[in-house]
Structure 1
Amino acid sequence: MKVCFYGTDEEITRICERPVLAMVGPRRSQPVLAFTLAGISISTDPYGTIYRLAADLTEVHREEVNE
């Protein structure tokens, strides 16, 4: 799945430093899913204040997290 994150330099750096991202489902019954980022591309607006990180999310399965 392709995703984009927008934020300041500090916010984008925090996302890139994490090996695994967790996303909570929209309902309590859905589990928390773990993802890794791949194919990261970072660009900036013409004024250099907001950055855009585009990446592919790959789901991490429970067996891979426990290794």
Structure 2
Amino acid sequence: MRVCFHGTDEEITRICERPVLALLGPRRTQRVVAFELSDVSITTDPYGTLYRLTADLTEVHREEGGE
């Protein structure tokens, strides 16, 4: 899945620093899903105040059992 995040330098930096993002489902009954970012691209608006991060999200599947 390809997504875009728009934000300030600080907000985009926070997203990039995390190897895994957790996204909540639209309803309280849905689970939290973890995603890894890949193929990241960052662009800026002509005035340099906002940034746009585009990336592919890949769902992280937790290993069951094995300790």
Q: TM-score, normalised by structure 2?
A: 0.92
Alignment correspondent of 1:36: 36
Q: Which amino acid aligns with 1:15?
A: I
> What are the residue-to-residue correspondences of 1:1-67 with 2, within 5 Å?
1-63=1-63
Q: Distance in 2 between matches of 1:63 and 1:48?
A: 42
Q: CA RMSD in A?
A: 1.9
Aligned-partner Cα distance in 2 for 1:27–1:6: 23
Percent of residue pairs identical: 77
Q: How far does residue 62 in structure 1 lie from its aligned partner after superposition? A: 1.4
Runs of 4+ with >6 A deviation: none
1:47 is displaced (CA, Å) by 0.3
**TM-score normalised by length of structure 1:** 0.92
Q: In the aligned structure 2, how far is the partner of 1:41 from the partner of 1:63? A: 29
SS in 2 for 1:31: coil
After superposition, the C-alpha distances for 1:9-63 in whole angstroms (9 at most, x for unaligned) are 0000000000100001111211000000000000000000000000000000111
Unaligned runs of 5+ in 2: none
